[in-house]
Chain A
Amino acid sequence: AQSVTQLGSHVSVSEGALVLLRCNYSSSVPPYLFWYVQYPNQGLQLLLKYTSAATLVKGINGFEAEFKKSETSFHLTKPSAHMSDAAEYFCAVSDPTGFQKLVFGTGTRLLVSP
């Protein structure tokens, strides 16, 4: 079965610092991987997705993620954090039995201090 592990339920950074949110996946087949962001009292917004076209994926708001098959990882990064990046971030993998079925990680709350 597919699964996703997000290391760190909370990550704190200073404004302007590098953001690194970790995601490791388990999949029996080549996966489709996603990062979503959730702001308070809102739904999920897609940041980026990996669909095997390129290992380095660029998303919205300056985020990017690199797919590393050897490490089964899909970590999310942003060179310089902004206060507006404070939110909860979810990594997800498509279930091969149904591509509309996502298996989510437990989420990482990003805190950005001035």
Chain B
Amino acid sequence: KAGVTQTPRYLIKTRGQQVTLSCSPISGHRSVSWYQQTPGQGLQFLFEYFSETQRNKGNFPGRFSGRQFSNSRSEMNVSTLELGDSALYLCASSLDRAETGNTIYFGEGSWLTVV
């Protein structure tokens, strides 16, 4: 079956603009989470959604937001872009069976460059 799909794969934005990234989880997965990967900070958790509700949030400013739709697809938005927001943004999905240490599957990521 199809994996986690992220669009767009690459994009370039200008400082001050906003950007929306999209993620389609693996079929049947209800939990979607987002991570930011940069050379300096590594992989950092942004937020997680389950049944259209944000369950967990990382330590990022309010410019970073997200949402989840009834079909589990998710979007994340970054407003008022800064140069430091240039990063690989990874979406991940899972079945949400915590007692089994469920596997979290990652997409290929969206490369955002802010100029």
Chain A positions near chain B (C-beta within 8 angstroms): 32, 34, 36, 42-46, 49-52, 90, 92, 94-95, 97-107
Chain B positions near chain A (C-beta within 8 angstroms): 4, 31, 33, 35, 42-45, 48, 50, 55-56, 58, 90, 92, 94, 96, 98, 100-109
Contact A100 B33, beta carbon cutoff 8 Å: yes
CA distance A104 to B46 in the complex (A): 13
Which of A43, A50, A103 neighbours the largest number of chain B CB atoms within 10 Å of its CB?
A: A43
Query: A36-B106, A106-B42 are known contacts. Are A98 and B55 too (CB-CB below 8 A)?
Result: yes
Residue of A nearest to B32 (CB): A100
CA distance A92 to B106 in the complex (A): 13
CA distance A45 to B90 in the complex (A): 12
Contact B100 A100, beta carbon cutoff 8 Å: no
Contact A43 B106, beta carbon cutoff 8 Å: yes
Contact B43 A100, beta carbon cutoff 8 Å: no
CB of A13 to closest CB in B, whole Å: 23
A contact residues around B107 at 8 Å (CB): 43
Contact A103 B45, beta carbon cutoff 8 Å: yes
Query: A43-B109, A46-B103, A51-B101 are known contacts. Are A98 and B48 too (CB-CB below 8 A)?
Result: yes
Contact A45 B45, beta carbon cutoff 8 Å: no
**20 more A-B residue pairs beyond the given contacts A100-B33, A100-B94, A101-B33, with a C-beta to C-beta distance below 8 A:** A36-B106, A44-B92, A49-B101, A52-B101, A90-B43, A95-B45, A98-B55, A98-B56, A99-B96, A99-B101, A100-B48, A100-B50, A100-B56, A100-B92, A100-B102, A100-B104, A101-B45, A101-B56, A102-B45, A102-B104
